[in-house]
Structure formats: C-alpha cells, structure tokens
Amino acid sequence: MAESRDGRTPRRTVFSASVIERRVRELANEISAAYTEEDRLLLVGLLKGSFIFMADLVRAISVPHQVDFLVASSYGSNKVSSGDVRLLYDPASSMAGRAVLVVEDIVDSGTTLSRLLPRLQARDPASLEVCTLLHKRLDGVEGVEPEPRWIGFDAPNDFLVGYGLDYAEDFRHLPYIASL
C-alpha cells in the first residue's frame, strides 16, 4: 500500500476502483438526463481534489458541455479544515444565463461550498447545482445552499485519500478511496 512522506499509510479501502467507476457512470447518466444542449452546461471543478472525478465524469456525460476550474483551499497540510477558504484561481468562463454544475470531491464541513456558491451565484447563472463524489453529512455542518443535487457516496467520518483526495499532497494517485 502507498505511504506518505511522513510514513502514514491508508488503513482500509472504503470505496474500490470498480465501485467508483460504476457510480461515476450512474451520476453522468443522471446529469445527462437533467440537461439539454440549450442549457449550455458548464462544469466547474474545484481543484485539486476533484480533478480525477471531474475527468471521469466529463467523459461520461452525453450532453454538450464545457469545463472550467477554480482553486480554493481550506486545509493546507492539515487533516481538519481551517475554516479560512482562500480562492486561488477564479474561473474565466462566463456563467451568465448558463446551467452551472460545481463538481466537488467531498463535502464535509460545508465551509468551502458555503463560501464559494454565493460568489458563483452573483455571476447570474440560469441554474447553479452541485455534484459531489463524497458527502460526510456531519452534524452541525453549516448549510450549503444549494445542497448537492448529485452525491456519489455517503462517506464515513474518516480522513479519506485517493481518487484525487490527498493528505499533504500524497495519495491522490490511488485508484480507490481509503481511510487514512
């Protein structure tokens, strides 16, 4: 099993590569059914964690769409969100009058989305939805508006790595999701 620079290794596999692949195809089918060409769908991936999920998802969505990214950070090298969300790269694509789908790797504290979604809503999209691969559904989490419309998996309250998720930039390459 992979090891981080500080000697940590994942404890157990939470979602296998085959389970993830199947669920991403299901999500892509659901998203494809919800939009038409006229919606001018724009997927906005939150980097870095969503990049593998986003790549697999956009290849499986059958309606025409465009892709952009934004970079936000609230973790740094910690295992707990700092609560301070920094926007490091802002998407350049016009969102006005378009169906915008934010693609996130994981919703745990809800802090990142609760800070970013109002900024995106101010750009006057026709609709603004969220698709997340993982949702921890933690008690006491501040509300995210809109709530994710598409959720890949309910996730355990563990620190998860793999399939784009990292611990201090390690483990993103794993084809499965594991508990650290």
Q: How far apart are CA 165 and CA 80, in angstroms?
A: 13
Give 63's contacts (C-beta < 8 A, 6+ positions apart). Answer: 31, 32, 35, 36, 37, 39, 41
- The pLDDT of residue 173: 94
Residues 119-129 have pLDDT tens digits of 899 999 999 99
Task: Name the residue ranges covered by the structural domains of the chain.
Answer: 17-73+83-158
Active site residues: 108
Q: How far apart are CA 6 and CA 172, in angstroms?
A: 15
- The pLDDT of residue 141: 52
As a CATH number, domain 17-73+83-158 is 3.40.50.2020
- The pLDDT of residue 113: 87
Structure tokens at 82: 């700092």
Residues 50-63 have pLDDT tens digits of 999 999 999 999 99
- The pLDDT of residue 178: 95
- The pLDDT of residue 85: 66
- The pLDDT of residue 94: 93
Q: What is the pTM of this model?
A: 0.88
**Strands of the chain, DSSP E:** 12-15, 41-47, 65-73, 86-89, 99-107, 127-135, 150-154, 160-161, 177-179
- The pLDDT of residue 67: 97
